[in-house]
Amino acid sequence: MSATLSHTGYILRGNPVTLVAGIGAALLILVAIVAPSIAPYGPTVSNVPLSLQPPSAAHWFGTDQLGRDVFSRVLVATRLDLAIAASAVSLSFVLGAMIGAFCGYAGGRLDRWVGRFVDVLMAFPLFVLAMALVAALGNRVENIIFATAIINLPFYIRFARAEVNVRRNSGWVEAARASGNSHARVVLLFLLPNVLPAMAVQISLNLGWAILNAAGLSFLGLGVQAPTPEWGIMVAEGARFITTGKWWLVVFPGAALMSAVLCFNLLGDGLRDILDPRMRT
């Protein structure tokens, strides 16, 4: 454990961009955990006489068209957006890595069939596919997670399939098989752990993209529905008032969305270096 922490600290000190991105991601996760308890106002509590007020000491991010505190809504929305992204990426990563690893290890007809299926899936515009899935299944949170996981699945299948295919005939894999390990054990305990560092960048990128995807669906009315606080909904509602000078309705939730996507995108390279065993030597 101490060696892992020392190695992580060494990587972060040598890469200040990763350090800043890591701090930003940690702050986002912390806000998602404690947001409901630190929000100064209820995120769905209306106060119409105070509607469309600019930022002030009482309302740091101003108020929206129903008099709701924008700062409180941005804080609380962090939990929902991160939860959707983390759940979708976790689901697609686990399924995609397992399917891709076993296909790449086995090869043959199964590998070709799965490869063709992934090619067909990736031929569709992925955001349009997510829109179609949510429209067909209904715009509940679990369906948004499912749709986001489905459109991320091909990336992990192709990546794991290619990486395992390259390594399956390596000497250390042959040694693992010769030691009496089953094929499933070789894939799960020997090949997948060696593929994980290379997939770390894709995981981080997909987290940012999943947040953007959930916000985009909500912006179009296909995602989370009002009055639930969510960054995409807040931007969509505020866009109607931007021409009248009510800039805070779009700027603050949009800045939160941009910051989250940027942090997770920049974090990818650092995660690869931290998880890569070759960087420990």
pLDDT in tens, 216-234: 888 888 888 878 899 999 9
**For range 112-121, the mean pLDDT:** 84
pLDDT at 107 over 80: no
Specify the pLDDT at position 278. Answer: 55
Fold of 2-280: MetI-like fold (1.10.3720)
Tell me what the pLDDT averaged over the chain comes to: 84
Percent of the chain's residues with pLDDT above 90: 22
Q: Give domain limits for the chain.
A: 2-280
Percent of the chain predicted with pLDDT > 70: 90
Give the pLDDT of residue 74. Answer: 94
Q: Over the stretch 33-63, which tens digit does the pLDDT of each residue have?
A: 998 888 899 888 888 888 889 999 989 999 9
pLDDT at position 274 is 67
Convert the chain into a string of H (helix), E (strand) and C (coil).
Answer: CHHHHHHHHHHHHHCHHHHHHHHHHHHHHHHHHHHHHHCCCCCCCCCHHHCCCCCCCCCCCCECCCCCEHHHHHHHHHHHHHHHHHHHHHHHHHHHHHHHHHHHHHCHHHHHHHHHHHHHHHHCCHHHHHHHHHHHHCCCHHHHHHHHHHHHHHHHHHHHHHHHHHHCCCHHHHHHHHCCCCHHHHHHHHHHHHHHHHHHHHHHHHHHHHHHHHHHHHHCCCCCCCCCCCHHHHHHHHHCCHHHCCCHHHHHHHHHHHHHHHHHHHHHHHHHHHHCHHHHC
Please, which pLDDT band fits residue 186 given cuts at 50, 70 and 90?
A: confident
Q: What is the pTM of this model?
A: 0.85
Q: What is the mean pLDDT of residues 154-178?
A: 84
Confidence of residue 126 (pLDDT cuts 50, 70, 90): confident
Specify the higher pLDDT residue, 8 or 203.
Answer: 203
